[in-house]
Amino acid sequence: MTRKQKRLSVIVAGLAFLAAAAGLTFYALGQKASYFYMPAELATASVQPGQRIRLGGLVESGTVVRGSGATVAFSVTDTQKSIKVTYTGILPDLFREGQGVITEGAFGSDGVFVADSVLAKHDERYMPKEVADGLKAKGVWVESKSQ
């Protein structure tokens, strides 16, 4: 092969490789990214049972029930609608009624959201950014006292 052909074949092979990687990346983005919803948005969004999503909002006061073992049930609300969530595991230190949380998991066939992770930030001023933005958009956001 001439120098030119050699270089061309290397470039073609490299591009084919990159195209394959890009294809895989976009396929994975479509399949594996989980969308974030607030409870009221779920009414219009078509979320299938078993589809992984992230559900964010405030932990509704008076709904936290500790069941048998390490299972906890609570409701996540955006003040318009609330969704029942169950979670088995250790809740974050800052999990409290009235606090913002993000839960990740999927709906079971009974309409209860089964979370496999519950996130709360390591800060007393905590409000997950997604939840804060969502609440601001609904006009129910109250600026926190500190700062």
Partner 1 sequence: MVETGHFALVLAFALSLVQMLVPLVGARTGNQRLMAVGGPVTVTGFALTALSFTALASAYAGSDFSVANVWENSHSLQPMIYKITGTWGNHEGSMLLWVLILTFFGALVAVFGNNLPATLKANVLAVQGMIGAAFFLFILTTSNPFIRLNPAPVEGRDLNPVLQDLGLAIHPPLLYLGYVGFSVCFSFSVAALIEGRIDASWARWVRPWTLVAWMFLTGGIAMGSYWAYYELGWGGFWFWDPVENASFMPWLAGTALLHSAIVMEKRSALKIWTLLLAILTFSLSLLGTFLVRSGVLTSVHAFATDPARGVFILCILTLFIGGSLALFALRASSLTAGGLFHPISREGALVLNNLFLTTAAATVLVGTLYPLALEALTGGKISVGAPFFDLTFGPLMVPLLVIVPFGPLLAWKRGDVIAASQRLVAAFALALAAMLVTGLFIDGASVFAALGVGLAVWLVAGALTDLAVKSGAGSVAPAVMLRRFAGLPRSVFGTALAHLGLGLTLLGIVGTLCFGTEKILTMRPGETVDLSGHTLRFEGLFPQKGPNFTEDRARFLLIGADGNANGEISSAKRFFQARQMATTESGIRTLGLSQLYLSLGDEDNDGSVVVRLWWKPLVTLIWGGGLVMMAGAAMSLADRRLRVGAPARRRKPAAALTSPT
Q: Is 145 in the site for partner 1 (CB under 8 A)?
A: no
Q: Is 34 in the site for partner 1 (CB under 8 A)?
A: yes
Q: Is 70 in the site for partner 1 (CB under 8 A)?
A: yes
> Whole-number minimum distance, CB 10 to partner 1, in Å?
7
Going from the C-alpha of 49 to that of each of 20, 67, 105, the distances in angstroms are 31, 23, 10
Q: Is 93 in the site for partner 1 (CB under 8 A)?
A: yes
Choice from 11, 12, 18, 65 touching partner 1 (CB under 8 A): 18
Going from the C-alpha of 61 to that of each of 31, 98, 120, the distances in angstroms are 35, 6, 16
Q: What is the rounded CA–CA span in Å between residue 95 and residue 92?
A: 5
What tokens appear for 116 in the block?
């496999």
Q: What is the rounded CA–CA span in Å between residue 42 and residue 112?
A: 13
- Positions touching partner 1 (CB under 8 A) are 3, 6-7, 10, 14, 17-18, 21, 24-25, 27-29, 31-36, 52, 54, 66, 69-70, 88-91, 93-94, 104, 121-124, 128-130
